[in-house]
Amino acid sequence: MFNNQLSKAIEELDKVLAFLGLLISLFITIWLGVTGRQFTWVVGGSLAFIACLVYLLLRKRLSSPAAPFLARTEVNSKFYMVLNILFFTLLSCNIILLYLRPELYVRPLSYFIITALMVTLIGIEILFLPCTNSRIYLTLFKIILVSLSLVYSQILIFPSVVGTDPWSHQLFVNEILSAGHIPEGWAYSKLPVMHLISTATCLITGLDYKLATMLSIGLLNVVCTIPFIFLLGRLIWNDKVGLLAALLLGVANHYIQMGYWSIPNTLGLTLIPLIIYLLLKVKKGKPTTNTCLSLLMMAILILTHTLTSMYLAILLFAFGAGFHIYRRIYRRKLTIALSLNTAITFTVGMFAWWIYASGFIVDFAHIIRWAFEKESMAPVTLVATQAPLPEQLFSYLGMLLFFTTSFIGILYMVSKKFGNLYSFVVAIGVIVLFGIWASATLTGTSDLILAHRWISLNQVMLAIPLGSAVLLIHKVVKHKLIGSFLLPIFILLLAFFMVITPQANQDNRTFCPNIADRSAFTHSEIQAVQTISNTCGKTIGTDWYYCIISCIVPLDTEITPISKALLDGDFSHCQDMLILVREEIVKHPFLVGGTVVKLNYDPCLALGKQGFSCIYSCGSVKGFINPEGEMIAR
């Protein structure tokens, strides 16, 4: 009796997991609602419940494994030409809008709306037109253009690098350029691949660090990740799934963040899809070439960043386990490169390098901990007392829709009837990776593993299930209203919610004024701190992020953060300092360490009431000193 039930459960594994997903999501939603946890996760639990329910309804309409992903012509070729004319017209409008933007450091809202429309046009093309080689190449080119536009436009409107960690990496690259070799004693002295690529680009092109990194690491992140996600989608299903996965990944908010916030993690996440594709293709085509290339890419990944190496190790073990589970429960004799031996080999190499990089085996535990401490990307932290619930929900809605809709694709991929070996193995890896992030986030232990760093990798790996889900709904649901209108509208809304969120843009805060910070400097802010430093011998006290400028801009005086004074409004311990207050922190949220805060008072007025006098003002920055302090002119 038990064996019969087990055999039936295995035969309908997707159905069993869908019902299990219904129960888990319902429990999580109720639990979060009762305990008063963050409202956005309650919405996420509800969307997950709906996704599992939708799959169960779609499953009844599935007749054969191939039917949902069969390509068929639904419109004539003239429509394809119209779509392309509209796309490049909108692209031209976006370029003009960026050039004529009314605010120097803010991309207009119309730019994001037009970008979402461009994504929708590409989505319509993928859904309704058959795939030919020429159309595939042009579609990938357009997806890359959209993604590069979102990344490059953000970098180019600011005079400096964007983010927090890029400043320290710029300092390291400048040190390499100055010394002519990799200096010892730096955090990345033993993990220098990303910095060597940036250094080489600087030397070859003569560009500064920001532009050189943008044209190397930032460009690689787009032109490599998107095509290899397409290739993975095509390997698992077909061209349409691959194109949809590439399109939706290209506008994923945390993926965009990794593009303009260029760090070693960015290069690491670029290498992971490439490695996975090469490993899956080892048994096909040129096995020796693919094996050598995959081993080379693994070695480069180990020398790039510790956390992304750990990502791949987890994925390889999950893939290997998925392969053995598939072979055992479905009793099929198959060979695949993604075995547990591959995971073990990579992990041994990774740990061996970590031990060497630590200098001595007793320091091994420290470097493992270092893997989870370096390069905190300073995620947006919502403060319930400051941000209204609609604003919180808006900032997370795109990511929640991305994740929960992909559940439909995951359930389809693990199905015995509809899936295959590749889909099953990749789905197991995605489930493990997403489960680590979700469990840490929901249990409040996200700080232990820096769960916010896992989101970008989850979006990369969930892009294929998401593309599968959208195409599955399009092919299974015969209702013309849903197929012709609702799905393009869904793509439009998903794209807009993604590209406008604080994670995806550092400049436009139309919908998230109490959450979105600006992690970049203006020309005026850079000039102000240089001027003050050259004319004043006092220690400069300012907000935490403004202090980062000292990594690159040479200052004649010490600059130190006064975060506690700014948050408390008490400057009694800053009597001997010259305090710089940016207009940015007076009116908008700003970074303090890894947290975004917003002041509920005007620090300029508070300083005046506490006896400080304003001795400098340039519009974007004001300087205050204690009247009894001594001003040393130079």
Q: Parse the chain into domains and list their residue ranges.
A: 75-499, 523-625
Question: Per-residue pLDDT for 384 more than 50?
Answer: no
Pairing verdict, β 595-597 and 590-592:
antiparallel
Token pair 């400098």 is at which residue?
616
Question: Per-residue pLDDT for 478 more than 70?
Answer: no
Question: Binning pLDDT at 50, 70 and 90, where does residue 465 land?
Answer: very high
Token pair 């605010």 is at which residue?
103
Question: Per-residue pLDDT for 514 more than 80?
Answer: yes
Question: Binning pLDDT at 50, 70 and 90, where does residue 5 land?
Answer: low
Q: How many helices (H) and strands (E) does the chain have?
A: 28, 7
Alpha-carbon distance of 581 to 620, in angstroms, equals: 9
Q: Percent of the chain beyond pLDDT 90?
A: 24
Higher pLDDT, residue 334 or 529: 529
Q: What is residue 380's predicted lDDT score, i.e. its pLDDT?
A: 37
Q: What is residue 634's predicted lDDT score, i.e. its pLDDT?
A: 36
Q: How far is CA 350 from the centre of its chain?
A: 24
Q: What is residue 118's predicted lDDT score, i.e. its pLDDT?
A: 95
Question: Binning pLDDT at 50, 70 and 90, where does residue 228 land?
Answer: very high
Q: What is residue 182's predicted lDDT score, i.e. its pLDDT?
A: 87
Q: What is residue 548's predicted lDDT score, i.e. its pLDDT?
A: 85
Q: What is residue 362's predicted lDDT score, i.e. its pLDDT?
A: 43
385: tokens are 């007392």
Question: Per-residue pLDDT for 442 more than 70?
Answer: yes
Q: What is residue 375's predicted lDDT score, i.e. its pLDDT?
A: 44
Largest CA distance in the chain: 91
Q: What is residue 359's predicted lDDT score, i.e. its pLDDT?
A: 57
pLDDT in tens, 48-98: 899 999 888 888 877 655 445 554 545 567 888 898 999 999 999 999 999
Q: Percent of the chain beyond pLDDT 70?
A: 85
pLDDT in tens, 17-58: 888 988 988 888 888 777 766 777 888 888 989 999 988 888
115: tokens are 């970008």
As a whole number, mean pLDDT of residues 360-386 equals 44
**SS3 assignment for 244-274:** HHHHHHHCCHHHHHHHHCCCHHHHHHHHHHH
Question: Per-residue pLDDT for 197 more than 50?
Answer: yes
Question: Per-residue pLDDT for 150 more than 90?
Answer: yes
Strand partners, 582: 621
493: tokens are 């809304």
Average predicted confidence (pLDDT) for the chain: 82
